[in-house]
Amino acid sequence: MLKRIHVKNLIQLLLTSMSLTLCTLAFAQNEWPSKSLRLIVPFPPGGVTDIVARAVAIKLSQELGQQVVVDNRAGASGAIGAEMGAKAAPDGYTLVMGNISTLAINPATMAKLGYDPVQNFDPVSMVAIQPLLIGIHPSVPAKSLSELIQLAKNQPGQLSYGTAGSSIHLAVEFLSSLAGIKMNHIPYKGSAPALTDLVGGQIQVLFDPFSSIYPQVLNGKVRALAVTTDKRSNVAPQVPTVSEQGYAGFDVSSWQGIVVPAGTPKPIVQRLNKELVKVLSTQEMKDKFAQFSAIAAHSTPENFGLYIRDEIARWQKVAQSSGIKPE
């Protein structure tokens, strides 16, 4: 009889403990956010991902009633900042502005990645999509992408192309494998030095986000050959796509999306998604993004998660077919 009483008391104690835990969690979620949030940007200030993050942070702060502070943590193609975000407390106060590099490309190119894009993050929403632009130095005797490819075939390994990040490197290798060409890869730490060398003629070809390279096209210092997405850009409708020039199905874009540390309470993720959808649906945000040829995009957490998985599989396949081994 005494033993039954002890068991009964133990069960009641456990139920009471669980009840208190659930009440505490519910209270925390109802009070969220009660302080400022940190939005980790795994890249330096001034780049596309940083510009997108700051635009979103301003409007998200207004919707949440708490300041969203941008925290730039650059290095290793975004891996340093992404790892920091993955290891943060899953309490809804740390967000990460992920992108194609941190959430899809790094697993295919980095052997010792300190985080898993799928296991260590919970997706919130897609945020923005931008096309890449293929530009060349005016001295290169090519007026179209097909002419550049023919030139590369006639002079294998003689043309040098620059990239600012592993994501763009894989995009070039993807096109090179389709076209059967080989160019000399020159890696850069950012778009600015790569563009400087293109304008100066130290490299002949550059794949870069539209917002970075197009101003140099307008002033005649760079010749634009192609847009990498399946549709032309509204900013430069005269520039044809890669698929229009003989490589049907080629569709590569740079993209950003917000994720949180895995285990963040679902009600908080849902609230974040709701506010992000509201922000990204405004004409103000659409116009803001259009200034650098980006498209404001949003999604459900589930759809963004599926997109990340598809992109990881896609770029792993490209890396393997191109002979790029994780380093």
Cα 154 off chain centre by? 35
Using the 3D structure, point to which of 245, 272, 297 is the last residue of a domain.
245
CB-based contact 95:268 (threshold 8 Å):
no
Between CA 206 and CA 190 the distance in angstroms is 12
**50 and 113 share one domain:** yes
pLDDT-based confidence at residue 104 (cuts at 50, 70, 90):
very high
Which pLDDT score is estimated for 24?
A: 44
For residues 144 and 133, is the Cβ–Cβ distance under 8 A? no
Site of tokens 């290793």: 76
Domain count, the chain: 2
Pair (234, 86) in one structural domain: no
3 within domain boundaries:
no
Q: Please state, in angstroms and rounded to a whole number, the distance separating the CA atoms of residues 112 and 46.
A: 28
- Contact call for residues 209 and 48 (beta carbons, < 8 A): yes
Domain boundaries, position 176: 131-245
Angle at 254 between CA 83 and CA 295, to 5 degrees: 115
Give the tens place of pLDDT for each residue, 145-204: 999 999 999 998 899 999 887 778 888 988 998 999 999 999 887 788 899 999 999 999
- Evaluate the CA torsion angle 188, 193, 198, 201 in order and state its sign: negative
Q: What span, in angstroms and rounded, lies between the C-alpha atoms of 168 and 230?
A: 16
For the residues 258-270, what does the mean pLDDT come to? 98
Distance of CA 32 to the CA centre of its chain: 27
204 and 161 fall within a common domain: yes
pTM metric for this prediction: 0.82
The verdict on 214 and 163 lying in the same domain is yes
CB-count exposure of residue 68 (10 Å: 0-12, 13-18, 19+): buried
- Reported as a single tens digit per residue, the pLDDT across 4-56 is 545 455 555 555 455 444 444 444 456 999 999 999 999 888 888 999 999 99
- Determine contact, residues 93/37, Cβ cutoff 8 Å: yes
Answer yes or no: do 90 and 175 share one domain: no
Q: Looking at 240-311, which runs of residues are DSSP E strands?
A: 253-261, 295-296
Q: What are phi and psi of 229, to 5 degrees?
A: -85, 170
The phi, psi pair for 312, rounded to 5°, reads -60, -50
